[in-house]
Amino acid sequence: MNKVDRQIFQHLQENAAQPVADIASKVSLSVTPYWRRIQRMEESGVIRKRVVLLDAQKLGVGMLVFVAVRTDQHNADWLKQFATMVSAMPDVVEFYWMSNEVDYMLRVVVASMAADDVFYSKLISNVELTDFSSSLFYGAERIYHRFAACQ
């Protein structure tokens, strides 16, 4: 991985739909060498896939909630039940196994506090949990604006 590869990554992460010639020009390559680098990175698995990012506000699911789950059930049956349930919940967009005090972390998107309450009810009624807490994400842009307003 060299400086040009990192520049390519930066441009692709900003907008992977940019024309090949545009990105090649931005990283001082002609189209063919640029395209060969992309193909090599895809074949090696460095670039796993290209995705589309959606605007959560426009989709009506503008609340991001991080849910910390603790359990005293550390066995395969419980994990299978929990993973199956969480995977079937469309509000859960990411699911992580954690270390230390929290066993699992869920990234959840919901439309409102009422929808979060519905999610919470489904979660606690379908699997045995030791503890559960959720934190609402305000977003870096909103935090910056609040901070700037205080100065």
CATH of the domain at 40: 1.10.10.10
Residues 139 and 86 in one domain: yes
Report the amino acid identity of residue 89: M
Residue 93 located in a structural domain: yes
* Structural domain span for residue 27: 3-44
Residues 137 and 95 in one domain: yes
The answer to whether the CB of 63 falls within 8 A of the CB of 113 is yes
Structural tokens at position 149: 């307003």
Residues 139 and 66 in one domain: yes
Residues 9 and 36 in one domain: yes
The answer to whether the CB of 108 falls within 8 A of the CB of 56 is no
Residues 102 and 34 in one domain: no
Residue 37 located in a structural domain: yes
**Statement: the pTM of the whole predicted model exceeds 0.75:** no
Residues 80 and 122 in one domain: yes
Confidence grade of residue 61 (pLDDT, cut at 50, 70, 90): confident
Q: Specify which residues 85 forms β-bridges with.
A: none
Q: Is the pLDDT of residue 144 over 80?
A: no
Residues 19 and 61 in one domain: no
Residues 20 and 90 in one domain: no
Q: Is the pLDDT of residue 148 over 70?
A: no
Of the two residues 61 and 43, the one the predictor is more confident about is 43
pLDDT at 55: 79
What's the average model confidence in pLDDT over 41-66? 85
Confidence grade of residue 45 (pLDDT, cut at 50, 70, 90): very high
CA 90 from centre of chain:
14
Q: Is the pLDDT of residue 149 over 90?
A: no
